[in-house]
Structure 1
Amino acid sequence: MHSNIELIEAADGRSFQAYISKPARPNGHAVIVLQEIFGVTATIRQVADHYAEEGYLALAPDLFWRIEPGVELGHDKAGVARAFEYLQRFDELAGIEDIGRTVEHVRTMEGFHGRVAVIGLCMGGKLAYRAAAKLPIDAAVAFYGVGIEKNLDEAAALQCPLMLHYGDLDRYAPPEAVDLIEAALPAAPRAVLHRYPQADHGFYTRGAAQDADLAHARTQRFLVSVLGVDQ
């Protein structure tokens, strides 16, 4: 596995960066990792690396580039406040457009000859859900996507299989919001939602290992079932 930064051309002719993690033994498929509100941080890069270790060509596009390219925020009080400020300024539809350009970029890359999945965390989880309804992708996974209940009209437009993961202790995506989301989703296997009774927000990267490992195992099986095995 090795990594680098590549530029992707936006729809307006400008460019934004994406972290690229290339597998040593590619399976032909690609995973696009969508950031939390803290930017393409070391944590997001590690998630991309993890999928690359499993054979996927992994990309993490900088979705905050219109606000501040390359920003990486911490989880301290100042970092959280700034992250929420950026979230308020973030244009979701422009972000989805950038994800679409990333999908197009993937399809031109050496080593890719399969299918594309989008995996998002927090803000990225909502974007993964919306991308599944708007973009030509093959699978989507949303980890604790915040605010999906505000776009339930898009559930009927899902163009690919979707898996969602939520912790019952998540104050940003409380159980009542998750109930609304689950009720609006198409039936399994088109969409599957998993709940983790003891998990809080962010559990996939900074929660209990048993919850993170279970969520990852479920995601692995989902990707194999949808994208297929090595080609």
Structure 2
Amino acid sequence: MQIELAAADGHRLSAWRLGPDTARRGLVVVQEIFGVNRHMRRVCERFAQQGYAVLAPALFDRAQPGVELGYAPEDVKQGIALRGQIDAAATLLDIEAAAAALRASLGKEAKLGIIGYCWGGTVAWHGATRSEVFDAAVGYYGGGIAAAKDETPHCPVQLHFGEADHGIPLDDVAAIRAAQPGIEVFTYPGAQHGFSCEERGSYSPTDSALAEQRSLGFLARHLAG
């Protein structure tokens, strides 16, 4: 269901909420550059089926409320333009608002994770390094992670990259590994950007399933309460 969140700077944004209120673990799911669209809601459903209380904040609401895009070239162009209007510090406030809503619902003892895809992969990294509200973070093909590779994570992190991602060179992945020897970094031979999205031409079911299995195992280990 759709709910409303309030960020620390007074901004109000929508969010997609799924999963049991009695959960002991909460998960903030962070969108690609296409909004909290049908694909992201499916992602939320899969994690909710694993027993997580899930919140996916609508990060585009700071630029244009209610945006849900597809994956055609014009959608990519629009998504990039919208993302460019939103400051990273403001996005951090929005994911912290989602975390606060989960904490209020589940109780102070609940463990909280964050997982993000594409733009959300970078946001998840920022959630680990620029905030202290998460107990674990997972990022898929976050193009901005390399630029922030020297930041210090405050929680365990797992990252996933496609080896054939034209937007994220393997040199960037190697630099992340070198800067952060303590985090888990997985690469997938032949996989492209967006390999975990079933609505994209780059979708790779085998790699997606393996990455999700690894993500679920990682989150289960670090969010166990």
Q: TM-score, normalised by structure 2?
A: 0.93
Q: 1:195 aligned to 2:187?
A: yes
| Cα deviation code 1:128-187 (max 9, x no counterpart) | 011101222100000111121111231xx2100000000001011121111111111142
Counterpart of 2:47 in structure 1 is 51
Q: Give structure 1 regions of 4+ aligned residues with deviation exceeding 6 angstroms.
A: none
Q: 1:60 aligned to 2:52?
A: no
Query: What SS does the corresponding residue of 2:82 show, helix, strand or coil?
Result: helix
Query: What SS does the corresponding residue of 2:98 show, helix, strand or coil?
Result: helix
Q: 1:204 aligned to 2:208?
A: no
What is the one-letter code of the residue matched to 1:215? A
Q: How far apart, in 2, do the equivalents of 1:84 and 1:178 lie?
A: 22
Counterpart of 1:172 in structure 2 is 167
Q: Where in structure 1 are there 5+ consecutive unaligned residues? A: none
Q: How far apart, in 2, do the equivalents of 1:221 and 1:13 lie?
A: 36
Q: TM-score, normalised by structure 1?
A: 0.90
Name which of 126, 150, 153 aligns with 1:153. Answer: 150
Q: Where in structure 2 are there 5+ consecutive unaligned residues? A: none
Q: How many residues align?
A: 220
| Cα deviation code 1:51-83 (max 9, x no counterpart) | 000100011001111100120112112111111
Q: 1:77-226 residue pairs with structure 2 within 5 A?
A: 77-110=73-106, 113-135=109-131, 136-154=133-151, 157-187=152-182, 191-206=183-198, 207-226=203-222
Q: How far apart, in 2, do the equivalents of 1:124 and 1:137 lie?
A: 15
What is the one-letter code of the residue matched to 2:184? V
Q: Are the counterparts in 1 of residues 159 and 186 from structure 2 also a CA contact under 8 Å?
A: yes
Q: Choose 75-84 or 42-51, whichever is displaced more.
A: 75-84
Q: How far apart, in 2, do the equivalents of 1:122 and 1:109 lie?
A: 28
Q: How far apart, in 1, do the equivalents of 2:185 and 2:40 lie?
A: 22
